[in-house]
Amino acid sequence: MSKLILIRHGQSIWNAANKFTGWVDVPLSKQGRAEAIAAAGKLQNYLVNVCFTSLLIRSIETAIICLTEYDSVNGGKTPILHHDADDPQWHGWDRYEGDHTQELPIYPSAALDERYYGNLQGLNKAETVEKFGQAQVTKWRRSYDVRPPSGESLEDTLKRSVPYFRDRILTHLKHGDNVLVAAHGNSLRSIIKELDGLSNEEVINLELATAVPIVYDVDSSGQVSHKLILN
């Protein structure tokens, strides 16, 4: 059995400020870094072979902390980010000839980015409730297929995260790799919807705490047989 480890990033500075963050690239708070260190301790008995993150710094920070606090997690290998060579912004600056047997690859992808909150990004959640009402804000935040103004619904997020999971991440699991995915509440909720077979109504009630690892056993056919939450 391969291990699939899903972890929402630790608390970000805007999480602490109760702001809608979405695609705004905000780093972890001091508490968020402490949460990631605690998560690393929970993972010290798991050997990770490959890691996937979003493009956002809070998920990358969380992954790096989880992979570097204990050598038992990285197997003594150096975590190295592998940038997308097809990205027009990429100029080959990270290319080098080295001993890849001593590296643990991290693949950042926009497919795992948080849900885009559009015009809500940067707004305080409590003040947004005061302005638009609790019912409307709850609909924007929790509905499966309702978009916030100029933003993405959870369904929109699923349409990019789940195909990436099937095409890139599941392939490693079927080959026997243990995989760490450090991402966001909504990109991970959409993947868990797929893994757990949740309905559109059931996923609305799924909440993910910051920096709490969720471990799945995955067999060579890609089937999930067990799930463990490392609270």
Output phi, psi for 134, to 5 deg.
-60, -40
Contact 169/52 with Cβ under 8 angstroms?
yes
What is residue 93's predicted lDDT score, i.e. its pLDDT? 73
Domain 2-229 - what CATH class?
alpha beta
114 annotated as ligand-binding: yes
Select which of 9, 35, 69, 184 is catalytic: 9
C-alpha to C-alpha distance for 87 and 212, rounded to whole angstroms: 31
Active-site residue, 69 included: no
Contact 83, 108 (CB under 8 A): yes
Distances (CA, A) of 159 to 10, 113, 163: 24, 12, 7
Which is catalytic among the residues 35, 114, 172, 184?
A: 114
pLDDT average, residue stretch 71-79:
96
Structure tokens at 203: 């996923």
Distance CA 79, CA 102 (A): 9
Model's pTM, two decimal places?
0.95
Known binder of ligand: residue 201?
A: no
Per-residue pLDDT tens for 151-190? Answer: 999 999 999 999 999 999 999 999 999 999 999 999 999 9
Q: Where are the domains of the chain?
A: 2-229
Residue 99's pLDDT is 78
Whether 114 is a known active-site residue: answer yes
Q: What gap in Å lies between CA 73 and CA 179, rounded to an integer?
A: 11
User: Alpha-carbon distance 100 to 26, whole Å?
Assistant: 31
